[in-house]
Structure 1
Amino acid sequence: MPACGRCTKAGQASNCLYLEDSAEVPIREESTIPPASHKLPPLYGHSTRPIAATVPSGDLLSRLEYQDGRIKQLEAALAKAGGAPVVKAHIPLTPESLAGGGAVDVAAPVQDRETTLLRGRSFKTQFHGNTHPGALIARIPELQGFTRETFEQYPALARIKEDMCTLERRREHSGSTRNPVDDEALRAMLPAKAEADVLVELYLENYGSLYNVIHQPSFRSEYAEMWNEGVSNARPFFVALVLTTLAAAQCLTPDPPQLYNGNSSMPREKAINWVPSVEDWLAVQSQKHVAAIDFQLRVVLLIAKNAVARKYKRTWTDCGNVLRFCMAAGLHRTPDLIRKPTSVLDKELRKRVWAAVTELELQAAFDRGMVSTPWSLQSDVPGPIHIHDDDLDQETQHLPALRKANDFTPTSYLCLASESYHLRSTLNTYLNNIRQSVSFDESKRFTDEIEYHIQNIPEWSTAPTSSIVARAMLEINLRQYILVLHDRQIRTAETKAERDFSRTILVETATKMVQTHQDLISKGYFALELLCHDQLRAGISLCHISASNPRADDALSRAIDETASRLVPQCCEMLTDKVIRFGREQRQLWILLVANAYMKAKKDPERKAVWMQEAVDRITRPFYKIMACQAEGPVESSAAVREEDRQQSVQASQQQQQRRSEVERKDVDDSMEYYPGGGNEGADVSITGDVNPTPNFGDLDDFAAWTFEDWAFDPADLAAMNVAGQFGANGNVVGW
């Protein structure tokens, strides 16, 4: 029969079906349906065109009608063939179904309960979903016992609360209490011009090439005017914006900090004094007459808080609040709908602010293990236009010509990231859906589409060196989904070939991500080291798949072991540098160190004590510097418990001394490289046999997080999985 007019206009004449007769129409050959890997669905990203041109309504309706007809065909064929009761087909959540309002069956059973992290009691709880890096810990059941045993053998690790209180009391009494902030107080916080100039350039080179919400020519002009005509004449909003950019760049200097105030480095201490002051000042400002800088300031505040580890647990909720603030102002709708005169620059800044906020909110949701805000159902805003800031200003009447794809601009990141936003958002929803399992075919399809976007990142041959930050962020933002996707697929794989495929993808992806970070650090760019958490994710993934097959009885397993032994120490070094720059975040480092020790102990059980000792040594390295390099003098551990701990530690040290070779002993001595003098003086007796300072794990809210007491499998879930045959008696995945 001829195609209907709607399908013909939409260019879908070959897919036209008459649904009333669908049960009698022969099923089409699969070859007539183009595979997803050949053509990306139209809703996978923003584009610079109006949304009506991106997703024609006829195309969407015809696709839905075709899917409906296809289901009816299969149901009729199944009923005719076997007479079995027809079960409602399960359609996986895809970008098309998400855009078309596809619903998830809330009555479906929970498929992935074991990776849900709901810690705490009563109402004092914290929840993290499947894409949170800590979810990997729940998949290593033996890690909790290994960590508990480490704490029992090394008493120095058990005095964390007392030393943390010592550091916190010193910080509380150091005059860091905030007072109400007014315009003059903001101006008084500005540092000297020479210091501010360096930090502003650091911000623009790093975060300015990612989230370019500031029109840089206008910013530089007003910045120079502020210093030339006096800070007292500067706009308070602009002063707040400058302070926030300085805070975001405080920890990006090439040289690590030398002094600490409590458990915070001095550069970070400056930043966490500026950021809450700006927040307090912003909270009392009127929202009746807002301008572009109101939105720019809120975006840069989100970046600054992430860049200095300020209230990290609130990142997801903070990003959601800013997203809703922007939606209330209509930034999610196309600026062409504004009836009153609006400059070309303001329209473009609206799109940039919206793109940056949605990127930050999606990443925060992914890191937390939550579903991102479903704003796309109500949005028609196109992505930012690929033009340079120098090409437009407030007097520009018409949009300038677009730059070529291989011409780098500070907006290149937002333009390219918006093209893959809907793919990443759909994957985040898919991976955090506790009622939906991961199939091998879907994993391959999503992997192909992610690789498609990675391959489409242009080569910026004539770009400034800072362009490598944007390229690295584009790659990492896509590859992190591959890690989580195939980690889940491994646990549901039906054959060894499927598991080996996902293991190979995991190793390749982790290798590329770590190499990307190493390239940035070697060139002096530390923005992504501080902003991202994929070093921890990649390291734990490698430890997990390596420890799952301790015998390494095939070529792939041996390759995985070799890669893990090479890359995991590199991840540990990056996290150690992060601790040194912040003065905190020891939890991430400890998680990876103990996972690395567990992996080595599975391979070589005879040297289990040595690997435990190595993990303790490495967690105390940055601690020695933090404790000894306090701005007001070094902090000593509690003397009341020192002698008892000393006796216990001596016994533990004597038992392990005979197991340690000269090479291992040298590595332990090298752990004192951060301590003044570089020797063993003042070191922990459990490490070197001398006195006994205590590591600072002050960024934790409870002790259980370090021993993973709330991170393990629920016993009922573990028993159910054992019955299902997913795990063997030793907790390993069957077939690994």
Structure 2
Amino acid sequence: MAESESTTNMPAASDDGHDGNDDNDSEPARKRQRIRLSCLECRRRKLSCSRELPCDRCLKSGTPDRCSYESKPGGPTTTAASLAGEKTSFSPVAPLVSFGAGSDNARRPSGNHPPARREADNSLLKDAARDHERIRKLELEVAQLRTTLSKQSSVDGSTIAASPSTIKDVAKETHVVTSCASFIPETAHGYRGNSFRSRYYGPYNAWSALQELTGIHPFMRETADEWLRPLNIQKKDRAKRQEDRDKKFAEPDPFLESILPSKDETDSLIAVYLDQFEQLHRIVHIPTFKKEYAAFWDPSHERCASFTALVLSMIAVSCCMDMQASNKFVGIKSSSFQTAEKWTTACVEWHGRQSQKHRRLVHYQIACLLYLAKKVNIIKKKRFWTTAGSMIREAITIGLHQDPDHAGKRISPYNAEMRRRLWATMVEFDVQASHNQGVPTLLSQVYNDTDAPGNLDDESFDESSTELPISRPRLEYTFSSYAHLSRQSLPLRLELNKLLTGPPVDLEWEQVLQYSDMITQEIDALPEWDLEMEENSEMSHKPILAHTLLHVQLRQYLIPLHQPYLKLRKYHSKYQTAEFVYYSAARDLVMMHDRLFQKGIRALYFLREDSLRAAMNLCNVSLHQPKGTIVPVSSQYAANRPAASTGLIMSNAQETLGLIEKCIMIMEDRILRCGNNDPWGYSSMCAAYGLLETHLGIKILDNAKAKAAERFISLHYKLLAYQIPPFPTQQTQSDLATSQPNPDAISGPSSVSPFAMQLGATPLHREGPPLSMPWLLPTDTTQLLVPNPDVNFGMLDSDLTDLWGDWGGDFT
């Protein structure tokens, strides 16, 4: 019997192929399972892995923190030293466990030992294995940090990218970063709830502290059953309350119904929004929206107030794109703008009355659409940054910054993907608002664990999907391509944003060059799509929109990085590179926007201020060049002209003037659609153009001033010409109908400007459609600018003189 027990126990005690008998060394050792060399994330996604730390796949997907490898078969770890397999300096666990003087039996427990001795040996073996694994993790975490910093990638894949200066202090910072990184996974423990009725709690709030109290939940439950339940304290009828909320949610809103336009007008505005804006910022699931939108107009279907608000906020975004409704003005604002402002205000008030606790997907969609509507129509411009920051804070409270797949939450694939899309949209809103205003963003301090939205077409999944399809390749364009690819450059943009908006820092020239190189690498990594896809296909896909925005949002950082070195160019020749990079970045911004403008795609320059910024930047870099070194345009100066400059910027001075002219034309098109809601921008562009003409010797100072004033006033004559008459006129109704402007003059896809601008001509001589109120034009056309005493610019409800006389005042 003893012999049988001994025989049974002996194989179980073997850890390295021995059975406890020294004479049986010829028995073959147990074959060890090979460690898989691909990272766990690539294995999960069934993709090839570069076997680096982090690997290329994880870097491109924006999740380098999830790149981990197996330290032993079946045991994942957060490090990548297992890439080296058995070549690591550590040996297997067994050789580290040595308790005797060199005998094999002293190193491992044997079946012949008493139970107490076997238990002690097993305990020592486990402790040694645990210590070995802990040492391995610590050392490999150091190796991981060094590798990551040397590649200048993000520490956590979403917040601050490694700056060039941090590479020098790797050894000094390793311990601090390692200690902080060990707490990152704990942030996912406070994510409670599902869908969009979730709530995020950090690791140090009161709820998390309650979770740490062992036995608190059974104690409270037993106390309630024993002492409180006999008192017949009435409990909340949660089912009844949920039923009441659902009933109230389905009710219509009479006021929103009253301001809803006709179906035909709504259909056209919805089509414009889905065709252009939804390809940039993913807010709605298009097939689901179209299904609900079709039922929305069914007379037998009761309209839900939330969907009515969704439709109104959506058409408020694209309202000014429809020129048929933008040809009338009241003051300096078009009738389309006033309509969009009315819809936006009504939806903002409705959204503010909704419960902060019981919110659904549609509430966050409406919030994003309202921000877009305010941005496009320039409503409350000073609040753009604070509004975007408020959306980020609200998104964090429901845990949108935590990916449900990482947190192990049971959320449907549809809701999980919509959470990723909305978070990506809010992030881009906040980052751009921060850059425009030159102030920091909260995102620099937020641990962003959410994956990038998949490169998926909406038709590939819906609310009933049990799993999401595999994300399509980067070279394949979808409506979600921008949201998918923009996440790749987010760490770098956040680092640059923190650098440019934080405390004043004197950047070394070498650091500026390194950041410029990092920006260029991100630009080169962007895919090259067929930008004429929309012309060769029946689909409404416009890769040119996403392509332009992906490039613009990176190139815009080159300008503030190199701007401080423009003044240093005359002191050292090495800073000539700053001039070239600065000029090229501004030129590229104008060219990319003009390409969209020529195609009739206006969504991007309605959303951004690149045309204004680029015009000022081009003028700035040109003014830093020697004065009067350009060959004048007019031949009358040919005899006295100075020698032409051989510098790149001055050699392209004529092109620079043409680029600024393009920016002014883009701004004019926006004003004649939406109104002069930001008059400081247009007046400054006209002044910058005249100032540059003076600097280049093309015009003398007085002529340049007159030309700038003529351009500015002529635009306001156009606004006056399309005013809604406040009094009856002698014109008949048929005359007014025939004198209305032709919408095709502006809405045509190849239209460069709504009115052909002839330089040097008086306002009356400009070409364009017949004006509806010609009596407002100047009466004397023999002089350059002779005001008409019958014209009252007070109708525009704007002090035009203050725009020029007090440029340091309130611009917005």
Question: Structure 1, residues 604-641: CA drift from partner, whole Å, max 9, x if none?
Answer: 397111111111111112211222322243899xxxxx
The answer for the alignment partner of 1:35 in structure 2 is: none
**Structure 1: distance between partners of 2:651 and 2:55:** 36
1:233 is paired with a residue whose SS is coil
Among candidates 595, 600, 605, match of residue 688 of structure 2: 595
Contact 2:628 2:697 in 1 (8 A): no
Q: Does 1:209 align with 2:279?
A: yes
- Superposed displacement of residue 254, structure 1: 5.7
The answer for the alignment partner of 2:48 in structure 1 is: none
Q: Does 1:580 align with 2:676?
A: no
**Structure 1: distance between partners of 2:60 and 2:169:** 14
Change in 2 beyond 3 A, CA 1:667/1:191 = same
Superposed counterparts of 1:514-533, under 5 Å: 514-533=590-609
**Structure 2: distance between partners of 1:699 and 1:403:** 52
- Superposed displacement of residue 533, structure 1: 0.5
1:296 is paired with a residue whose SS is helix
Among candidates 345, 357, 378, match of residue 309 of structure 1: 378
Among candidates 196, 200, 204, match of residue 270 of structure 2: 200
The answer for the alignment partner of 2:455 in structure 1 is: 386
Change in 2 beyond 3 A, CA 1:701/1:260 = closer
- Superposed displacement of residue 368, structure 1: 0.4
- Superposed displacement of residue 263, structure 1: 2.4
The answer for the alignment partner of 2:293 in structure 1 is: 223
Superposed counterparts of 1:311-710, under 5 Å: 311-336=380-405, 341-375=410-444, 377-461=446-530, 462=533, 464-491=540-567, 496-549=572-625, 550-552=627-629, 553-584=645-676, 585-604=678-697, 607-633=700-726, 665-666=760-761, 669-670=764-765, 676=771, 682-683=777-778, 687-692=784-789, 693=791, 703=802, 707-709=806-808
Contact 1:43 1:96 in 2 (8 A): no
**Structure 2: distance between partners of 1:701 and 1:45:** 52
Bigger radius of gyration among the two: 2
The one-letter code matched in structure 1 to 2:665 is: E
Superposed counterparts of 1:255-270, under 5 Å: 257-270=326-339
Change in 2 beyond 3 A, CA 1:705/1:60 = farther
The answer for the alignment partner of 2:358 in structure 1 is: 289
Contact 1:487 1:541 in 2 (8 A): no
Contact 1:260 1:629 in 2 (8 A): yes
Greater shift, 558-567 or 286-295, is seen at: 558-567
Change in 2 beyond 3 A, CA 1:608/1:515 = same
1:416 is paired with a residue whose SS is helix
Change in 2 beyond 3 A, CA 1:48/1:370 = closer
The one-letter code matched in structure 2 to 1:581 is: R
Change in 2 beyond 3 A, CA 1:631/1:377 = same
Change in 2 beyond 3 A, CA 1:281/1:256 = closer
The one-letter code matched in structure 2 to 1:355 is: A
Contact 1:302 1:318 in 2 (8 A): yes
Greater shift, 622-631 or 93-102, is seen at: 93-102
Contact 2:722 2:772 in 1 (8 A): no
2:557 is paired with a residue whose SS is helix
**Structure 2: distance between partners of 1:506 and 1:625:** 35
Change in 2 beyond 3 A, CA 1:44/1:371 = farther
- Superposed displacement of residue 572, structure 1: 0.9
Change in 2 beyond 3 A, CA 1:332/1:548 = same
**Structure 2: distance between partners of 1:262 and 1:296:** 33
- Superposed displacement of residue 192, structure 1: 0.8
Among candidates 59, 65, 68, match of residue 51 of structure 1: 65
**Structure 2: distance between partners of 1:403 and 1:671:** 51
2:297 is paired with a residue whose SS is helix
Contact 2:479 2:541 in 1 (8 A): no
- Superposed displacement of residue 376, structure 1: 5.2
**Structure 2: distance between partners of 1:413 and 1:192:** 33
The answer for the alignment partner of 2:87 in structure 1 is: none
**Structure 1: distance between partners of 2:776 and 2:149:** 75
Greater shift, 396-405 or 210-219, is seen at: 396-405
Question: Structure 1, residues 65-103: CA drift from partner, whole Å, max 9, x if none?
Answer: 79999xxxxxxxxxxxxxxxxxxxx9747999999999x
Change in 2 beyond 3 A, CA 1:274/1:547 = same
Contact 1:247 1:272 in 2 (8 A): yes
The answer for the alignment partner of 2:743 in structure 1 is: none
Contact 1:507 1:560 in 2 (8 A): no
**Structure 2: distance between partners of 1:275 and 1:472:** 28
Contact 1:43 1:95 in 2 (8 A): no
**Structure 1: distance between partners of 2:585 and 2:767:** 34
Greater shift, 245-254 or 601-610, is seen at: 601-610
The answer for the alignment partner of 1:117 in structure 2 is: none
Contact 1:50 1:380 in 2 (8 A): no
The answer for the alignment partner of 1:253 in structure 2 is: 322
**Structure 2: distance between partners of 1:706 and 1:40:** 57
Contact 2:55 2:64 in 1 (8 A): no
**Structure 2: distance between partners of 1:276 and 1:535:** 28
Contact 1:620 1:695 in 2 (8 A): no
Change in 2 beyond 3 A, CA 1:510/1:100 = farther
The one-letter code matched in structure 2 to 1:502 is: A
Change in 2 beyond 3 A, CA 1:632/1:710 = closer
Question: Structure 1, residues 250-270: CA drift from partner, whole Å, max 9, x if none?
Answer: 112366821012321111111
Q: Does 1:277 align with 2:346?
A: yes
The one-letter code matched in structure 1 to 2:718 is: K
Contact 1:365 1:372 in 2 (8 A): yes
Percent identity (aligned): 23
Question: Structure 1, residues 118-159: CA drift from partner, whole Å, max 9, x if none?
Answer: xxxxxxxxxxxxxxxxxxxxxxxxxxxxxxxxxxxxxxxxxx
Superposed counterparts of 1:124-273, under 5 Å: 183-229=253-299, 233-253=302-322, 257-273=326-342
Superposed counterparts of 1:63-82, under 5 Å: none
The answer for the alignment partner of 1:731 in structure 2 is: none
Contact 2:444 2:498 in 1 (8 A): no
Change in 2 beyond 3 A, CA 1:677/1:300 = closer
Contact 1:597 1:615 in 2 (8 A): yes
Question: Structure 1, residues 291-329: CA drift from partner, whole Å, max 9, x if none?
Answer: 111111111111111011111111000100111010111
Change in 2 beyond 3 A, CA 1:101/1:450 = farther
**Structure 1: distance between partners of 2:57 and 2:500:** 19
**Structure 1: distance between partners of 2:793 and 2:556:** 31
Question: Structure 1, residues 679-721: CA drift from partner, whole Å, max 9, x if none?
Answer: 7963398853241546578679994785334699xxxxxxxxx
What TM-score results when the alignment is normalised by the length of structure 1? 0.68
Greater shift, 252-261 or 354-363, is seen at: 252-261
**Structure 2: distance between partners of 1:430 and 1:436:** 8
- Superposed displacement of residue 404, structure 1: 2.0
Question: Structure 1, residues 142-184: CA drift from partner, whole Å, max 9, x if none?
Answer: xxxxxxxxxxxxxxxxxxxxxxxxxxxxxxxxxxxxxxx9811
The one-letter code matched in structure 1 to 2:777 is: G
Asked which structure has the greater RCO (Cα within 8 Å, sep 6+), the reply is 1
Task: Give the alignment's Cα RMSD to 1 decimal.
Answer: 4.0
Change in 2 beyond 3 A, CA 1:665/1:338 = closer
Contact 1:618 1:671 in 2 (8 A): no
The one-letter code matched in structure 2 to 1:612 is: K
The one-letter code matched in structure 2 to 1:499 is: Y
Contact 1:265 1:582 in 2 (8 A): yes
**Structure 1: distance between partners of 2:327 and 2:286:** 32
